[in-house]
């Protein structure tokens, strides 16, 4: 992303900047728009035009109530307030973290080959409207045909939209997100307050994950192990978000039981897990329910725990290092290195069948209901679970 020119506007104290709004429409169906001077042509592969970017009011926080994408005289409401840690990192302003937007529009509303201009329409808290003209144009490419394979950009961007939509639909009140790192889940900040839980401080997380030094890692409000949450009493929060965390935990059954434990009755668990064919696990076998039950409640001092832990790391290293140079010596050294770091690998690979079996296992102790179970290709499963009442006796 190109922030260089816009960053010049913030070289002075913010209160002295004459620009009121900073914004970028940075992708249309995953295609980078920043360096495009002409029309962005969108292959007709899926059913939607997806427009995303970021926008913030330089002078006043929470001044933007709603955002609309105006195309050909018609306004389409965008999801606004989405997490953009890249923006907050570049501008060194945490208040810009919720500056993202995404708008999904049915492609049938557009004519193939016709060029459309994108403009932004802002609704302020004073109930007035501000219009911003952009230089971004797009067209549906009439030469492309349906039935082609996924473009990774378009499919991924739509999958992100699905996650954001489910979050905004179900997450409200006060709750926690576990292990957010640099990619916290977007919520409707007008109705949801999120406290962040991690096993390390922000400083230690940057040391553990040096590859994230160019990102705005979220500082933890609560330092605790994500699978135990021992500092949090029962029935405390309205929601718990576990966004691509369960696969990083050695004992997923213990984690799920504790996540349900800290929820109030009617509380919501937002659970997302990578599909088995994700880039880290595509060469691995899906974990069986028998294996997961065997891992449940293992004492960390036991010999069996040590053996299984080593097996998890070894399997992960083998499956993610498939080149010819990855000989037995390399595999053993890498396994020992990651174990010594206590690196957060993918301990398990979850199929749809096993996920349902795991939830059924947890339901023996906690009354719960699956509200949504979405196979959000190409990325993840998203499961929305509601706690119905207190733990059964």
Residue 54: exposure state from Cβ atoms within 10 A (0-12, 13-18, ≥19): buried
Q: Among candidates 389, 385, 386, which has minimal Cα distance to 374?
A: 385
Residue 390 confidence (pLDDT) above 70: no
Q: Are 274 and 243 contacting, i.e. CB atoms less than 8 angstroms apart?
A: no
Average pLDDT, the chain: 85
Q: Among candidates 363, 361, 385, which has minimal Cα distance to 373?
A: 385
- What is the mean predicted confidence (pLDDT) over 102-122? 90
Domains of the chain plus CATH, in order, are 4-149 (2.60.40.10), 160-387 (3.40.50.150)
Cα–Cα distances (Å) from 29 to 237, 269, 355, in that order, read: 36, 29, 31
- What is the mean predicted confidence (pLDDT) over 338-366? 94
Q: Could you tell me the pLDDT band of residue 17, with boundaries at 50, 70 and 90?
A: very low
Q: What b/e readout covers 313-326, taking b as 16+ CB neighbours within 10 angstroms? A: bbbbbbbbeeeeee
Q: Are 345 and 338 contacting, i.e. CB atoms less than 8 angstroms apart?
A: yes
Give tens-digit pLDDT for 278-294. Answer: 888 888 999 999 999 99
The Cα 12–Cα 180 span in angstroms is: 31
Terminal Cα distance for the chain, rounded? 54
Give tens-digit pLDDT for 141-189. Answer: 755 433 333 344 566 777 888 899 899 999 999 999 999 999 999 999 8
Residue 8: per-residue pLDDT: 45
DSSP secondary structure, 108-169, as one string: GGS-BT--EEEEEEEEETTS-EEEEEEEEEEEE-TT--TTPPPPHHHHHHHHHHHHHHHHHH
Residue 249: per-residue pLDDT: 95
Q: Could you tell me the pLDDT band of residue 240, with boundaries at 50, 70 and 90?
A: very high
Number of H helices, E strands in the chain: 9, 17
- What is the mean predicted confidence (pLDDT) over 63-68? 93
The Cα 59–Cα 125 span in angstroms is: 14
CA atoms within 13 A on the CB side of 339: 18
203-206-210 Cα angle (round to 5): 155
Give tens-digit pLDDT for 263-275. Answer: 999 999 999 999 9
CA atoms within 13 A on the CB side of 63: 14
> Which of 20-29, 33-42, 351-360 ranks highest by mean pLDDT?
351-360
Q: Whats the size of the chain, residue-wise?
A: 393
């Amino acid at each position: 992303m190109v922030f260089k020119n816009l960053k010049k506007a913030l070289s002075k104290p913010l209160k002295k900047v004459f620009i009121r709004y900073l914004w970028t429409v940075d992708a249309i169906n995953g295609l980078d728009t920043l360096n495009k001077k002409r029309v962005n042509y969108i292959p007709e592969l899926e059913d939607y035009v997806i427009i995303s970017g970021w926008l913030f009011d330089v002078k006043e926080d929470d001044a933007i109530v709603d955002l609309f994408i105006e195309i050909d005289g018609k306004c389409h409401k965008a999801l606004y307030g989405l997490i953009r840690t890249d923006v907050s990192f570049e501008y060194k302003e945490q208040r810009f973290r919720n500056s993202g937007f995404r708008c999904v529009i049915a492609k049938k509303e557009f004519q193939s080959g016709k060029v459309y201009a994108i403009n932004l329409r802002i609704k302020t808290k004073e109930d007035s409207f501000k219009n911003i003209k952009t230089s971004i144009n797009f067209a549906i490419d009439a030469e492309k045909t349906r039935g082609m394979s996924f473009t990774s950009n378009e499919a991924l961007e739509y999958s992100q939209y699905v996650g954001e939509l489910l979050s905004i639909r179900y997450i409200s009140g006060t709750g926690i997100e576990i292990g957010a790192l640099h990619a916290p889940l977007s919520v409707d900040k007008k109705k949801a307050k999120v406290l962040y839980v991690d096993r390390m401080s922000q400083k230690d997380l940057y040391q553990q994950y040096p590859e994230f030094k160019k990102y705005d890692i979220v500082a933890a409000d609560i330092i605790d192990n994500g699978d135990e949450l021992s500092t949090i009493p029962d029935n405390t929060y309205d929601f718990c978000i576990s966004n691509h965390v369960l696969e990083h935990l050695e004992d997923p059954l213990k984690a799920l039981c504790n996540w349900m434990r800290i929820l109030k009755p009617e509380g919501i668990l937002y659970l997302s897990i990578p599909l088995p064919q994700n880039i880290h696990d595509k060469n691995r076998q899906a974990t069986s329910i028998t294996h997961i039950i065997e891992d449940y409640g293992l004492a960390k001092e036991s010999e069996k725990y040590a053996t299984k832990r080593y097996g998890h790391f070894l399997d992960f290293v083998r499956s993610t290092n498939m080149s010819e140079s990855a000989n037995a010596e390399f595999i053993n050294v890498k396994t020992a290195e990651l174990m010594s770091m206590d690196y957060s690998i993918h301990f398990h690979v979850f199929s749809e069948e096993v996920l349902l079996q795991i939830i059924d296992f947890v339901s023996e102790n906690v009354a719960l209901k699956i509200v949504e179970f979405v196979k959000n290709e190409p990325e993840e499963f998203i499961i929305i679970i509601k706690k119905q009442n207190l733990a059964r006796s």
